[in-house]
Amino acid sequence: MICRRCFNLSLICVFWLSANAIAFGQSSNDPSSLCKNNPDDMKRIKILVAYQSKYGSTKQYAEWIQQDIKGDLVDIENEGMPPLAKYDIIVMGGYIRTGDIVTAPFIKDHWGVLKGKKVVLFTTSGTPPRHSKIRIIYEKSFPDEIRKEIKYFPLSGRISLKDLTFFDQRLMAIGKMMERDEALKKDMGKDFDGVKRENLLPIFEYINEIQAFLTKE
């Protein structure tokens, strides 16, 4: 009798441990279980992804970002801009052209509305993102009061010479003649494609942090 009771207790323990092990395994493999934020709270956070793109690099990044974080996607050159005041997080994307960030004028013109919001800026260019020239361009494009309130992510772009306008081909040729950095000069005028979804991982991580912060407010 005692042996049978021990056997039954053993079976119960085995079943209990197995059920918990299965539940743990499902929880660990389910991506939704990794989200620490309440889905209802997340829905209250309004996100805008706005961009300017000429040859498609910036547009591709903007579309990938929107696919991951949802929200509204807007081409600020060709579509009407929705009211900025209704958004909590605004992701701005633009390319660098002749040493300028093309979205900088828009951000500065609308800073009265953007100030106090979570603003993320990303740019694309043919210059490596970690090159000192990118930081110089960024600091030249915005005053200190704006730079201290936005988060900036320079990204690798894409160039296909056959797709460039004649004017842009001339600009590139002139830029190559004037470039003093021999490493950069060597690669100018060549096709390259640095547009990869994994380049966005730091942006996704930062936006996740913002969302987590906003849900606690």
pLDDT confidence of residue 194: 92
Residue 216's pLDDT band, with cuts at 50, 70 and 90, is confident
pLDDT of residue 164: 79
Residue 135: what pLDDT?
A: 96
Q: What is the pLDDT of residues 118-170, one digit of tens each?
A: 999 999 998 999 999 999 999 999 999 999 999 999 999 988 888 878 887 77
Using DSSP, state whether 179 is helix, strand or coil.
Answer: coil
Domain boundaries, given as residue ranges, for the chain? 39-157+194-216
pLDDT of res. 59: 96
Lowest mean pLDDT among 54-58, 110-114, 188-192: 188-192
Q: How far is CA 88 from CA 73, 133, 167, 170, in A?
A: 14, 31, 39, 41
The type of residue at 205 is E
At 183, the pLDDT band (50, 70, 90 cuts) reads low
Cα three-residue angle 117-123-103, rounded to 5 degrees: 60
Helix or strand (DSSP H, E) at 93? strand 89-97
> How far, in Å, are 90, 137, 143, 206 from residue 126 at the CA level?
25, 13, 24, 24
For range 49-75, the mean pLDDT: 94
Collect all residues with Cβ–Cβ distance below 8 Å to 65 and sequence separation of at least 6.
49, 91, 93, 200, 203, 204
Q: For 78-133, how does the pLDDT look when each residue is reduced to its tens digit (9 = 90+)?
A: 887 889 999 999 999 999 988 899 999 999 999 999 999 999 999 999 899 999 99
Distance of CA 169 to the CA centre of its chain: 29
pLDDT of residue 205: 95
pTM for the whole structure: 0.76
* Domain 39-157+194-216, classified CATH 3.40.50.360, yes or no: yes
Pairing of strands 89-97, 118-125: parallel
Q: Which structure tokens are listed for 207?
A: 């936006």
Residues 6+ apart with CB under 8 A from 79: none
Reply yes or no on whether the pLDDT at 1 is more than 70. no
User: Residues 137-149: pLDDT tens digits?
Assistant: 999 999 999 999 9
Residue 1, amino acid: M
CA distance 212 to 97: 35
The pLDDT tens digits for 12-44 are: 343 333 333 323 233 333 333 223 444 454 558
- Is residue 94 within 8 A of residue 142, CB to CB? The reply is no
